[in-house]
Amino acid sequence: MLRIFLLLFCGVFSGVVIADDVWLLVDTKAMTIEVKKGQHTLETLNDIAIGRGGAGFKRHQGDNVTPFGSYRIGWVGEQSTFRKFFGLTYPSAEDAQNALEKGVINQAAYKSIITAHRSNQVPPQNTPLGGRIGIHGLGRADEKIHKSTNWTHGCIALTNVQIDHLSQWIDKGVVVKIK
C-alpha cells in the first residue's frame, strides 16, 4: 500500500514515474535550458539552438518557429538521427484553441488534439499546426553551425554531449516550459 501511495505521490504520466517535480525551462532569449526542481535550478545548459524562424507562437506547419508554451515529454527516441529525441506534446490545448479561433485548424483537428491531451496521449503530429517538435542532439550535424546559428525547423537542439547529459534528468511526462 505504501508503494502505491509513493508512486501516486511522485506523479505518474502514461505509466512512467516522473522524478519529483523536475522540469525544464527553455529560455529562447538567453539560449539556455534550465533543469529545475520546483523553483530551484539544478543545472543550466547553454548555447542551445532553436528554430530558424525564432521563437513565438507557431502559425502553421513549416514556419520554423519554436513554440512558446508548456508541454510534456511525450516520447523518447533513442535511435534518432539527432542522437536522441525527446518529443514534446505539441500542439497543446492552448495552441489548438488559438489555431481554431484563427481558422488555422478545423473543428475535427481541434477535437483530436483536445481528446489526446485529455487521455494523456501525444496529440496528432500531422495537423496544419505541425508537429514533431522536441529537444534533440546534433547527430552527425556540424557543431560549428550549431554554435553560430539557429538551424532547426522548430525544435530545441543541443550538442550530443549536452543531450546525453540531459537525458539523465528527463523521461516521458516531464514538463517543458518554453519562453
Kindly list the strands in the beta sheet with 83-88, ordered across the sheet, starting from the edge strand earlier in the chain. Answer: 40-46, 32-37, 22-27, 175-178, 69-80, 83-88, 134-136, 156-157
Supply the pLDDT for residue 80. Answer: 82
Query: What is the per-residue pLDDT across 63-110, written as a single tens digit (0 to 9) for each?
Result: 999 999 999 999 998 778 899 999 999 999 999 999 999 999 999 999
The full set of domain ranges for the chain reads 48-172
pTM above 0.85, yes or no: yes
Instruction: Give the separation between CA 126 and CA 105, rounded to whole angstroms.
Output: 11
Mean pLDDT across 19-41? 94
Supply the pLDDT for residue 78. Answer: 78
Radius of gyration of the chain (CA): 16
Angle at 73 between CA 100 and CA 137, to 5 degrees: 110
Supply the pLDDT for residue 141. Answer: 86
Q: Which residue has the cell 519562453?
A: 179
**DSSP secondary structure code for residue 11 in this structure:** -
Query: What is the per-residue pLDDT across 125-172, written as a single tens digit (0 to 9) for each?
Result: 999 999 999 999 999 988 999 999 999 999 999 999 999 999 999 999
Supply the pLDDT for residue 95. Answer: 97
Single-letter residue type at 6: L
| Beta strand 12-13 pairing with 134-136 | unpaired
